[in-house]
Amino acid sequence: MKWSELLLILAALQASLSQNIEVSQIPEVNVIEGSTANLECSYNMSNLYLSIGWYRWYRHVLHGVDIFLSDEFKDRISIESKEDFLNKTSASIQLHNVGLTDTGMYICEVEFSGQKQIKGHGKGTFLNVTEQIASQNHFTAYIVVGALAVISAILVAAYRWYLSVTKHGSCDLPAVNSFVEEFSKTWQEVQKSLSSAVAAQKKASDKHRRDSPVYQQQDLVGSSISSQNR
């Protein structure tokens, strides 16, 4: 056997050993600023059993910033217990109180050692952190004010009608017409306000999404993936 053939066999054997562990991640996680992000990661060791193992999470690129050692994530990470890591093959983490600057790619790497050392990593999870738009609160306020206006108009008109019926002992047609007219005007104003609020909400949301660095970063990631697939 030639030395070149032997080297090829050894290289193929080494490559196969490095593939003994498969790591899976979900592609994307979307959360709101201030909440907790669940970054899921699991592994499969192809029927191998090694009792000594650990896992790491890197930010942006493999072997980049180890978030377990980064001051930026200090006291904000919850990890799996040793039992869940070994028995449930889970290497998931939780990021607490996430901020807009936490947006980015997170890569999970699992490693075991024993008679031989094996490791594997996932394809990464893109964490998308968005802020709650202030106009959403305005939109809610419009709804509340509109509903209160309608209820107030109904109560006032009903009370006037009741006084009219009590005073005259019969149904006062002008009072009924006045009730219908007032209710119709109030309802039209409420509809107009709600329509304006919906339009303003949509416009603000679209502008916020276009201007967001998260949106721009997603575009860059998508463009990079598309160029790699060509």
Identify the pLDDT of residue 221. Answer: 45
Q: What is the pTM of this model?
A: 0.56
The mean of the pLDDT values for the chain is 76
Q: What is the mean pLDDT of residues 99-118?
A: 92
Which of 2-11, 43-52, 115-124 has the highest average model confidence (pLDDT)? 115-124
User: Cα torsion at 14, 15, 17, 23 (round to 10°)?
Assistant: 150
Distance CA 181, CA 218 (A): 52
Query: Does 99 have pLDDT greater than 50?
Result: yes
| Beta strand segments in the chain, E | 22-25, 28-32, 37-39, 41-44, 52-59, 65-66, 77-79, 93-95, 104-113, 118-121, 125-130
Decide which of 33 and 164 is more confident: 33
Query: Does 10 have pLDDT greater than 60?
Result: no
Whether 31 and 128 have beta carbons less than 8 Å apart is answered as yes
Q: What is the mean pLDDT of residues 123-139?
A: 79
Query: Does 150 have pLDDT greater than 70?
Result: no
Concatenate the DSSP letters of all residues of 11-50 into one string.
HHHHHHHHTS-EEEE-SEEEEETTS-EEE-EEEE-TT---
Q: What is the mean pLDDT of residues 98-111?
A: 97
Query: Does 227 have pLDDT greater than 60?
Result: no
Distance CA 24, CA 11 (A): 25
Residue with tokens 């947006």: 103
Identify the weakest region by mean pLDDT among 35-44, 66-75, 90-99, 177-186. Answer: 177-186
Distance CA 50, CA 17 (A): 14
Decide which of 42 and 181 is more confident: 42
Query: Does 11 have pLDDT greater than 60?
Result: no
Q: What is the mean pLDDT of residues 161-167?
A: 64
Mention every residue, 6+ apart, whose C-beta is less than 8 A from residue 100: 33, 129, 130, 131, 213, 214
Q: What is the mean pLDDT of residues 152-166?
A: 65
Query: Does 218 have pLDDT greater than 60?
Result: no
